[in-house]
Amino acid sequence: MKIVFISPDDFAPWRKPLRLNIPEADVFAWGVDSIDENEIDYALVWKPAPGLLARFRNLKGIINLGAGVDALLQDHTLPQAVPLVRLVDERLTSGMVEYMVHWVLHFHRDLHVYARQQRARVWTQHDNADTQKRRVGILGLGELGQGCAHALLMLGFESLSGWSRTPKDLPGVRSFAGEDGLKPFLRQCEILLCLLPHTAATQGLLNAETLAELPQGAFIVNAGRGGLVVDDDLIAALESGHIAAAALDVFNTEPLPDDHPYWAMDNVFVTPHIASLTTPMSSSEIIAKTIRALENGEAPDNLVDFDQGY
């Protein structure tokens, strides 16, 4: 079996974990090793150049080395008959849970206010908001959103809600769904966590109209995709104070351009797409499991539905 690794990231940390988990495979690094494209069975990819995957004529599977497949699906030459699998990994989920819980606590406990106070040498105490009553909403209740819900419930955030395309029955999470459910959901989110995939249906979902539905002084954390947000509209809402602060890990253009307003805004926290990073060791186990399923003619977990876009 022959596997090609195509990613802007370094292949070196992957070599050993892949050999351990898929000892029967020869793994080649695109751009490094010499490769006969017709001999490759599986491609492990992160943001391959558009058109590249179409050159591998005998692929049995494409495995995305991240949760979001939006970049891949923009490649109109992507072979549609080849199963495409996205990465769902406990480590990826726990990384995201850490990131989201961090910002929920940060905003819930006014740490953004105290950071400002420190710079001005101000000693003023503010009442702690009631954790049970703090209304946190999760936009997107897939694997990552459910992981966050679970952790937040354990911390006592009992006024938790979630929005998804179709209703989800999750203990402790008030479920909103579909287009009709979006505005009622947003109206009651004091802290909004965005974890939706970027698809044709979610492009620009957070815009002037929808942001206006959030309560005055709401907080936003986006670790889904930059394309969910209309930046000019979010900037206007942050400038007016309608949105008190935002923590953003993903952007319409990455890296975030030097002259982008977000960098300098006092109420914006920018991180460089690090909310959750793929780790070679845990991912290699999932990749091995996926390849075994495909080799056995079984449907692997987390097969991408091309029509839904995730």
The residue nearest ligand GLV at its CB is 66
CA atoms within 13 A on the CB side of 253: 8
Q: Pick between residue 62 and residue 67 the one whose CB is nearest to ligand GLV.
A: 67
Q: Pick between residue 45 and residue 67 the one whose CB is nearest to ligand GLV.
A: 67
Q: Pick between residue 148 and residue 160 the one whose CB is nearest to ligand GLV.
A: 148
Q: How far is the CB of 278 from ligand GLV (least distance, A)?
A: 6
Alpha-carbon dihedral angle through residues 95, 72, 202, 231, given to the nearest 10 degrees = 80
Q: How far apart are the first and last CA of the chain?
A: 27
Alpha-carbon dihedral angle through residues 186, 270, 68, 105, given to the nearest 10 degrees = -50
Residue environment code for 104-114, b if the CB has 16+ CB neighbours within 10 A, otherwise e = bebbbebebeb
Based on the residue annotation, tell me whether 242 is a catalytic residue of this protein: no
Q: How far is the CB of 66 from ligand GLV (least distance, A)?
A: 3
Q: How far is the CB of 67 from ligand GLV (least distance, A)?
A: 4
What does the binding site for ligand GLV look like in residue numbers (CB under 6 A)?
Answer: 66-68
The active-site residue out of 150, 260, 273, 292 is 273
The active-site residue out of 225, 242, 260, 292 is 225
Residue pair 22/287 in contact by the 8 Å Cβ criterion: yes
Rounded CA gap, 14 and 36, in Å? 21
Residue 76 CB burial class (10 angstroms; 0-12, 13-18, ≥19): exposed
Q: Pick between residue 195 and residue 245 the one whose CB is nearest to ligand GLV.
A: 195
Residue 229: count other Cβ atoms within 10 Å of its Cβ: 26
Q: How far is the CB of 96 from ligand GLV (least distance, A)?
A: 9
Q: How far is the CB of 229 from ligand GLV (least distance, A)?
A: 15
Q: Pick between residue 67 and residue 268 the one whose CB is nearest to ligand GLV.
A: 67
Based on the residue annotation, tell me whether 273 is a catalytic residue of this protein: yes
Active site residues: 225, 273
